[in-house]
Amino acid sequence: MLLLSQQQQQPSHFPPRLKRHGITIESEIEYRVGPFFVLAVNIKRIDWRRFIKSTHRDVVERRNKWQRKQEQDELGGKEQVGMLQCWSSTIARLRHMSKYEWLSYFIAFLYHFHWTIYLPVCWVTYHVLMGNLYRTFILQHVADETFVLVEEKGMEMRVGIKEAPQQAGFMLSALREIRDDGRQLKQKQKESESVDKASLLGPLLGPAVKEDKGPAPPPPDGFVVPESLEFVGLELDLPVGFKRLRWALLNTSCSFTTDAVWNAEAKYENITVEPWSKHDEHIGSTTPVEGVDEADFIGAERNASYLMPKSVFVKANMCSEVQYIESYNDHCFVLKKKALTPDVPYGSTFVAWTKYIVINTGNDTCKMICSVEAEFPNGPPMIARQIKSGMRTGVGEVFVLTGETITKYADEYP
């Protein structure tokens, strides 16, 4: 059973797309509400010869991509990788593989044997030993083909896979969350129409800065605004001065991000933020500090962590974040973040990078560009496409919340 978070017609392209895997299925949409629907999938037949061949091809392609990335990293100026380091990275990659990836390697290994050997092995492991594991692995292929169709239409999707015995309980839990989300959305729409100042936490953006009222200063000589990451999730003109926003987002003494964005809007809990690794008391300051070169702020980093609330697809989980200052001057500042979420499915296989670029446009305004990119340190897993899509959707929501919250507080506390 699949629960998809983007409403679509029943995918009629499943049979021809899955044919290369040797999988024959029947599917039916059982329930639909809002953007969610439940798709029941029944595996009717498996052509083991074709299934083993396609799995072997997929495994080889993923391994080759990982090896090409390693070679590109070396050519990009990184140190030459020795034999010991190569073996170490390979072991790390194997250690972070999921049980489904181990199954894919097992199936790919059978490709090297005659069919008189691998067919009995497949029949026994599928019908006697690992039936549930095989079926979930096959449904990952179904989900991946669904992502191809959805991405071709320029949309995003989240997906969860459950066995038939768990279907009823999962559907009831999901429906409760869908209804709760619907009520919260209606409440937010009402609040956005008329923001109640009493619902805000106070002037957390800090006081207006005199220098922000004039025209924007030119960029320093030779300075180029850094490039965004792979996917730009938000590009927004903000009604707040550049130095004021820089203080709110970067200064350790300001609680705007932790209290207004993370806790009040995103519903994060157990939030901790450590000081910057250098110049902690000066980073984000609205006035120049005598004897301190702001160029030294570049490269400063700090750690943060928080508990993200559960969703339809993912239980509540901790996120550990490292924040880096990539650029810092009166024309532009760039905050880059590296997030690790080991408790989510496949969480040990990827790193979520986000980047906030804020450009001074003068007259108490600035422009914010938010982007995200997935990194797979040990090579992309078999559901890399799904991970990227979920990351774009989830982080995109945080980008929008951040922009909305900045605008709301700037309007109420000019």
Report pLDDT for 66: 72
Which pLDDT does position 194 carry in this prediction?
Answer: 53
Q: How far apart are CA 144 and CA 384, in angstroms?
A: 9
Angle (CA) 99-132-162 rounded to 5° is 90
d(CA 335, CA 327): 7
Kindly provide the b/e burial profile for residues 12-41, where b requires at least 16 CB atoms within 10 angstroms of the residue's own CB: eebeebbeebbbebebebeeeeeebbbbeb
236 by DSSP, 3-state: which?
Answer: strand
What is the C-alpha separation between 268 and 319, in angstroms, rounded?
10
Q: Which two tokens stand for residue 60?
A: 């080889």
Q: Minimal CA–CA distance to 366: which of 258, 217, 187?
A: 217
Q: Can you read off the two tokens belonging to residue 133? A: 């594991």
Rounded Cα distance, 342 and 166, in Å: 24
Task: Give the pTM.
Answer: 0.76
Q: How far apart are CA 340 and CA 171, in angstroms?
A: 29
pLDDT of residue 10: 42
Distance (Å) of CA 326 to CA 247, 261, 333, 334, 335: 16, 22, 7, 5, 6
Identify the pLDDT of residue 25. 79
Burial 232-262 (b: 16+ CB within 10 A, else e): ebbebebebbbbbbbbbbbbeebbbbbebbb
Tens digit of pLDDT for each residue in 295-313? 999 999 999 999 999 876 6
Contact 365, 237 (CB under 8 A): yes
Nearby residues of 318 by Cβ (< 8 Å), 6 or more positions away: 270, 305, 306, 307, 308, 341, 343
List of the chain residues with pLDDT < 70: 1-18, 30-38, 69-96, 145-198, 312-313
pLDDT of residue 11: 44
Asked whether the CA dihedral 244, 249, 255, 261 is positive or negative, the reply is positive
Count CB-CB contacts under 10 A for residue 341.
21
Count of other CB atoms within 10 angstroms of residue 83: 7
- pLDDT per position as a tens digit, 151-187: 666 666 666 666 655 555 666 666 666 666 556 556 6
Question: In angstroms, rounded to a whole number, what is the distance separating the alpha carbons of residues 330 and 220?
Answer: 9
Residue 15: what pLDDT?
Answer: 47
Write the CA distances from 29 to 19, 33, 36, 191, integer angstroms.
21, 11, 11, 35
pLDDT digit string, tens, across residues 38-68: 677 778 888 999 889 988 988 888 778 777 7
Rounded CA-CA distance 71/20 in Å is 30
Please name which of 45, 22, 52, 46 lies closest in space to residue 113, comparing C-alpha atoms: 52
Closest CA to 371 of 245, 247, 251, 231: 231
Q: Which tokens belong to 410?
A: 């700037």
